[in-house]
C-alpha cells in the first residue's frame, strides 16, 4: 500500500529513475541479498516503506516475527545506506512507537517516556530501534537520515484480510460482506466488531503520506523525527458508523467487549511537520469512499487474489 503510493507520487512529480523491488524479488530480511542489491543499483535516495505489519490479532499471534523481521528489514536497509553513502534515507515508522498513556496529542519528544501498548509492543520496539539508528547516524556521521511516523494508514492496496488487517480495511470488508449477504437473503445481517468502540483513532489517507514522503525527500529538515497525520481523530464507534453509511449496510452493529480495545487514544501532534511546510489534505469520508471504490474494483478485477 505505502510503497505503491509513494511510487505513484514520485512518478506524478516527474521522477523517472525509480528502483523498487517486491518482497518476492528481494527479501529485505536477507543481509547478503540486500548487500548485493545496493552494490548493483547504487541508489542515491532510499525510502524504507517495507515492514511486516498487522492489527492486534496478528501482533498477538506472531510477536517474534513482528520484532525480528522488522529489525532485519530496517537494519539491512539503514546499514547499507550508510555504508554506500546514500545521500538521503527516509525511514517510515508508526505512531505506536509512543507510550500507551502518553499525553495527547502525541509529540515527538514523548518517545521512550513510558511503557508501550502491550498489543503492538513487538512492532513498536522494532520501529523505535530504526528511529534511534537513524538518529545515531545523523548525529555521528551528519548524514541526512530522517524518520517519519505516520498515524493509522488506509487507502488503495490496503490489506483486507480479516485475520491480519487493521481496523479500517477490516470494517470495510465486514460491512460490505454483510451488505451483500443481506441483499442475497433479504435478512438484515449484523456486523460484529471488536472492543467497546470507545478508543479514539486518527487516520491518514495513504496518498497524503506519499506526498509527505516526497516533500521530505525534496527538503532539508532540522530534526530527525516528524509525525505525519491529520491532527484529528474520532472514536472507533464513529468510524464504524461512517464506514457503514458509505458502504450502504443497514444492519445492526454488535460490539464484543470481551476483545481488547488497544490504546485508549492515539492522536498525533503534527505541528512540526506543519511548520516544515506540509499538511494533509484528504478528508476521512472522502478517503474512505475512494478506498471502498478501490476495494470493489479490486474484487472484480483480481478474483484469483485472496483479499
Question: Residue 151 in contact with residue 268, Cβ under 8 Å?
Answer: yes
Q: Any catalytic annotation for residue 292?
A: no
48 is in an annotated binding site: no
Beta bridge partners of 152: 203
By three-state DSSP, how is residue 225 classified?
A: strand
Q: Which residue has the cell 506540509?
A: 278
95 is in an annotated binding site: yes
17 is in an annotated binding site: no
In 3D space, the residue among 57, 55, 141, 146 whose CA is nearest the CA of residue 96 turns out to be 55
231 is in an annotated binding site: no
Determine how β-strand 88-92 pairs with β-strand 45-48.
parallel
Instruction: Return d(Cα 32, Cα 43) in angstroms, integer.
Output: 17
Q: Which residue has the cell 520484532?
A: 67
258 is in an annotated binding site: no
Determine how β-strand 234-235 pairs with β-strand 265-266.
unpaired
Question: Residue 146 in contact with residue 91, Cβ under 8 Å?
Answer: yes
Phi, psi for residue 92 in degrees, rounded to 5: -100, 125
Instruction: Return d(Cα 209, Cα 4) in angstroms, integer.
Output: 11
153 is in an annotated binding site: yes
237 is in an annotated binding site: no
115 is in an annotated binding site: no
81 is in an annotated binding site: no
Q: Which of 98, 123, 154, 226 is catalytic?
A: 123
256 is in an annotated binding site: no
176 is in an annotated binding site: no
150 is in an annotated binding site: yes
Instruction: Return d(Cα 151, Cα 146) in angstroms, integer.
Output: 16
Point out the annotated binding site for substrate. Answer: 174, 194, 201, 261
Point out the annotated binding site for NADP(+). Answer: 92-95, 127, 150-153, 166
Catalytic residues: 123
Amino acid at each position: 500500500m505505502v510503497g505503491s503510493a509513494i511510487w505513484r507520487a514520485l512518478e506524478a512529480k516527474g521522477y523517472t529513475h525509480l528502483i523498487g523491488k517486491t518482497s518476492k524479488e528481494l527479501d529485505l530480511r536477507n543481509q547478503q541479498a540486500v548487500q548485493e542489491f545496493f552494490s548493483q543499483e547504487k541508489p542515491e535516495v532510499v525510502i524504507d516503506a517495507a515492514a511486516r505489519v498487522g492489527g492486534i490479532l496478528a501482533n498477538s499471534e506472531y510477536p517474534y516475527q513482528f520484532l525480528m523481521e522488522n529489525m532485519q528489514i530496517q537494519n539491512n536497509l539503514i546499514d547499507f545506506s550508510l555504508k554506500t553513502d546514500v545521500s538521503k534515507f527516509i525511514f517510515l515508522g508508526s505512531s505506536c512507537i509512543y507510550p500507551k498513556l502518553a499525553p495527547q496529542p502525541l509529540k515527538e519528544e514523548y518517545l521512550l517516556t513510558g511503557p508501550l501498548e502491550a498489543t503492538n509492543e513487538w512492532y513498536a520496539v522494532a520501529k523505535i530501534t530504526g528511529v534511534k539508528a537513524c538518529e545515531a547516524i545523523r548525529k555521528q556521521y551528519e548524514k541526512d537520515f530522517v524518520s517519519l511516523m505516520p498515524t493509522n494508514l488506509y487507502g488503495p492496496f490496503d490489506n483486507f484480510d480479516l485475520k491480519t488487517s487493521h481496523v479500517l480495511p477490516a470494517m470495510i470488508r465486514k460491512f460490505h460482506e454483510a451488505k451483500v449477504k443481506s441483499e442475497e437473503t433479504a435478512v438484515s445481517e449484523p456486523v460484529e466488531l471488536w472492543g467497546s468502540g470507545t478508543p479514539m483513532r486518527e487516520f491518514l489517507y495513504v496518498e497524503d503520506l506519499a506526498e509527505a514522503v516526497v516533500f521530505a525527500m525534496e527538503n532539508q529538515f532540522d530534526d530527525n523525527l516528524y509525525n505525519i497525520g491529520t491532527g484529528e481523530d474520532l472514536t472507533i464507534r464513529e468510524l464504524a458508523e461512517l464506514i457503514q453509511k458509505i458502504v450502504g449496510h443497514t444492519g445492526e452493529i454488535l460490539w464484543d467487549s470481551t476483545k481488547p480495545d488497544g490504546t485508549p487514544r492515539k492522536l498525533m501532534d503534527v505541528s512540526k511537520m506543519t511548520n516544515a511546510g506540509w499538511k494533509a489534505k484528504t478528508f476521512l469520508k472522502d478517503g474512505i469512499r475512494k478506498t471502498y471504490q478501490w476495494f470493489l474494483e479490486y474484487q472484480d478485477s483480481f478474483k484469483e487474489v485472496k483479499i
